[in-house]
Chains A and B, each alone.
Chain A
Amino acid sequence: MPKEKRLSLPDAIERFIPDNSRIVMGASLESVIPFAAGHEIMRRGRRDLTLIGPISDILFDQIIGAGCVRKVQAAWVGNVITGSGYNFRRAVESGRLETEDHTNLTISLALRAAAMGVPYLPTRTALGSDLFKTNPGLKTTTCPFTGDRLTAAAAIQPDVAVLHVQRSDVYGHAHAWGNLGISREACLAAHNIILTAEEIVDPEVITSDPNRVVVPGFRVSAVVHTPWGAHPSPVPGHYNRDHQAFLDYREASKTPEDFAAWKAEWVDGIGSPADYAALLGRERMARLAIREHDHSEPVDYGC
C-alpha cells in the first residue's frame, strides 16, 4: 500500500516550505492558482523565498507584499485584468527584490530541463531581446549540428511545487482538468509536490481515468483538502473567476497601508477553509458557482 499523505494546510507548509525555499506556484497561469496555500505561507511569515512561475497573476504580488520573498523568477508579475502589481513594483523599485526575467516559454523550458536532469534546453525565443541582461539563466549558444544561434534556458530546480487540483486521493493521485499551463514541468522538476484539492476522493475515482492524472502520485509529498483554495481564480467544475476580487485588490494594494489592511482581513484572520467561506459569504459563493454543468462523455478503458 502507498503511504497516506493527507496533511492540514499549516502542517504541509510548515513541513515542506521552510525559509529560503524555491517554490513554483501559479503554474496554470490564470486558472487554479493555489491562493489558500500562498496565504498560509504569508501567515507563517516565511522569509527569503524564491518564487518561480509564468504569469502568476496577483498571488506573487501578495506574497511579495507580505515580505516573504527575496527573488522572483517569472515571466510576468501583476494583475491580469488591471495591469501593475503594486507590491512587486515597490519591492523592485526600492531594490528589495531580485528578479530574473523569463518568458512563458523560457520558464517552461527551464523547469523541463530540471525535470529531465539536463543543465539547459535550447529555444529560438528571446533572441535579440534584453532578457539576457536581466536574467543570468539565459544565454545565447550555437547549435552543434546546424550552427544556428539559439537561446539556452538554464535549468531551474524548485524545492517544491504547489498545485491546486479538482480532486485527489489521499495518496496523491490527482485529476486536474482545464488548461494546464506549465503544471507538468513544474511538478516534474520539483523535489516535493504539495497538492491542494477541492475534493478528496476514493482511489478508484482516479484510476477510472488515468489520462486525466496530472502528475505521478508517487512524487507527491502532501495532499491538502482545500475547498475554494484557488479563489479568486477559476476552477473548472467548481467555481468561476471572481473578477471583483481582482478589481478590489488593485485598490487594496496601491499603498503599503491599504495592503496591510487587505492582508489583515483576507489572510491573517483566516484559520481554515470554513473561515474563508464565511468571509466570502454564501451569496458571493453562489454567484461564482458553476451555473450550468457540462459533463464529458465517459471513456472506456476496459480490456
Chain B
Amino acid sequence: MAADPTRNAGSDYTQADLMVAAAAREIADGEVVFVGMRLPLLGFLVAKSLHAPEAVGVYELGIIRESLASEPILTMGDLPNLRRSHWLADTADMMAILGRGDVDVSFIGGAQVDRFGNLNTTIIGRPDRIETRLPGSGGACDLACLARRHIIIMAHRKHRFVDRVDYITSPGYGDGGDWRRRVGLARGGPSAVITTLGVLRFDPDTREMVLASVHPGATPETIQNNTGWPLRRASDLQTTPPPTAGELAMIRRFDPHRYWTR
C-alpha cells in the first residue's frame, strides 16, 4: 500500500478508513442491513453508533442484532456478535427476510466488476479454461438478487474494473436498461460502488456506472486510468468528504488492532 499514489500520506486516515466511512454513510437510520464480511462489517457498526442507531443488522450465519456487540469483532461469527443478539436462527430464515424484500441494503465485495455493476468472485478466465479460481458467491449472489439495493466495495484497479466481467457471480444491471426485470429479478440492483479511489453510482435509465465522487488524493484521471472502459462523470462530480473525527473514533473502536483498516 505504501507505493500507492492515491494514499493520503499526510493525513491520519487510510483508504480503508475512508471506504468504511463512505459505506456507513450509505446506511439510513431504521434500515434493515444485510451485513457482509470485512469492511462492511465495520461500516454497519460505524453507522449504527453514529447516524443510524435504529438500523437492524442481519448476518447470513443466522444472526440478527438490533444493538452493538459488547466488544469488537473480527468476523461475524465471533462470539460477542452472538451474545445478547436478538435472534439466533437458520441461514434460511435470514434468506426469507431477504426474499420477502425486507432487506433495505446489503454490502458485497468483489474481485472484478464491470460497467453495469455485475460482480465476479468465482472465476478469472473461462469455465473451461480457468486462470484463477476465486472463493465463489457465498451469500453475495443472494444479496445482489434479493436486497432492495446493494453496495459494492472493492479496490479500484484496471484489471478489476473491466468492460465485461469473465463470470457474473452477483448480478448488477446485466447489459443495462431493464435487464434485471427481463431475467426475472423482482427488485434491487447496485446503488453504489465504493472503491479505493472514489464512489460510483448508476445512471437511472441506462444503468451504466457513473463517477459520482472522487476521494481526496485521487483525480478523475487516475480513476479513468484504473478503469477498463470510458467512464462517465456525473455533472455534479463531488469530492468524497474525509472521515470525520467521530467516524474515525468509531472505526478505531471497532477495529482496535486495525486488522481491516491498516
What is the bound-complex CA distance between A93 and B185, given in angstroms? 32
B contacts with A, residue count (CB < 8 A): 54
A contacts with B, residue count (CB < 8 A): 61
The interface of chain A, by Cβ under 8 A from chain B, is 28-31, 54-55, 74-78, 80-81, 83-85, 88-89, 92-93, 99, 101-105, 108-109, 112, 123-131, 133-134, 140, 148-150, 177-185, 233-234, 236, 240-241, 243, 290, 294
Interface window among B176-184, B202-210, B212-220? B176-184
Residues B184 and A127 in contact, CB atoms below 8 Å apart: yes
Smallest CB–CB gap between A251 and chain B, Å?
16
Interface window among B13-21, B162-170, B222-230, B237-245? B162-170
Interface window among B1-9, B22-30, B48-56, B141-149? B141-149
B127 contact set on A, CB distance < 8 A:
130, 133-134
Interface window among B87-95, B153-161, B246-254? B87-95
The interface of chain B, by Cβ under 8 A from chain A, is 37, 59-63, 74-79, 82-84, 88-92, 95, 98-99, 122-123, 127, 130-142, 145-146, 167-171, 174, 179-180, 183-186, 259
Residues A92 and B130 in contact, CB atoms below 8 Å apart: yes
Residues A181 and B75 in contact, CB atoms below 8 Å apart: no
What is the bound-complex CA distance between A14 and B67, given in angstroms? 45
**Contacts A29-B77, A148-B184 given; does A130 touch B169 at CB 8 Å:** yes
**Contacts A104-B142, A130-B169, A240-B78 given; does A124 touch B137 at CB 8 Å:** no
Smallest CB–CB gap between A124 and chain B, Å?
6
**Contacts A84-B134, A125-B145, A181-B61 given; does A234 touch B91 at CB 8 Å:** no
B186 contact set on A, CB distance < 8 A:
124
What is the bound-complex CA distance between A113 and B171, given in angstroms? 25
What is the bound-complex CA distance between A92 and B133, given in angstroms? 7
Residues B184 and A124 in contact, CB atoms below 8 Å apart: yes
Q: Which of B79, B98, B130, B169 interacts with A129 by CB under 8 Å?
A: B169
What is the bound-complex CA distance between A148 and B186, given in angstroms? 10
What is the bound-complex CA distance between A124 and B146, given in angstroms? 8
Kindly count the residue-residue contacts between A and B in the assembled complex, taking CB atoms under 8 Å apart: 185
Residues A127 and B183 in contact, CB atoms below 8 Å apart: yes
Residues B132 and A181 in contact, CB atoms below 8 Å apart: no
Most buried by A among B77, B82, B132, B185: B77
Name the residue of chain A whose CB is nearest to the CB of B125: A93
Residues B185 and A124 in contact, CB atoms below 8 Å apart: yes
Residues B61 and A31 in contact, CB atoms below 8 Å apart: yes
Q: List 7 A-B contacts (CB under 8 A).
A: A84-B135, A104-B142, A108-B92, A129-B171, A182-B90, A234-B78, A290-B79
Most buried by B among A85, A126, A236, A240: A126
What is the bound-complex CA distance between A30 and B132, given in angstroms? 24
Q: Which of A108, A109, A128, A150 interacts with B168 by CB under 8 Å?
A: A128
Residues B179 and A128 in contact, CB atoms below 8 Å apart: yes
Residues A241 and B78 in contact, CB atoms below 8 Å apart: yes
What is the bound-complex CA distance between A76 and B122, given in angstroms? 9
B141 contact set on A, CB distance < 8 A:
103, 125-126, 129, 131
Residues A128 and B171 in contact, CB atoms below 8 Å apart: yes
Q: Which of A84, A177, A184 interacts with B88 by CB under 8 Å?
A: A177
Residues B84 and A294 in contact, CB atoms below 8 Å apart: yes
Q: Which of B92, B130, B168 interacts with A93 by CB under 8 Å?
A: B130
Smallest CB–CB gap between B160 and chain A, Å?
14
Residues A104 and B139 in contact, CB atoms below 8 Å apart: yes
Residues A178 and B130 in contact, CB atoms below 8 Å apart: no
What is the bound-complex CA distance between A59 and B130, given in angstroms? 23
Most buried by B among A75, A123, A128: A128
Smallest CB–CB gap between A248 and chain B, Å?
15
Residues B88 and A179 in contact, CB atoms below 8 Å apart: yes
B63 contact set on A, CB distance < 8 A:
179
Smallest CB–CB gap between A46 and chain B, Å?
23
Residues A127 and B145 in contact, CB atoms below 8 Å apart: yes
Residues A104 and B95 in contact, CB atoms below 8 Å apart: yes
Smallest CB–CB gap between A112 and chain B, Å?
7
What is the bound-complex CA distance between A233 and B141, given in angstroms? 25
Residues A128 and B92 in contact, CB atoms below 8 Å apart: no
A241 contact set on B, CB distance < 8 A:
74-75, 77-79
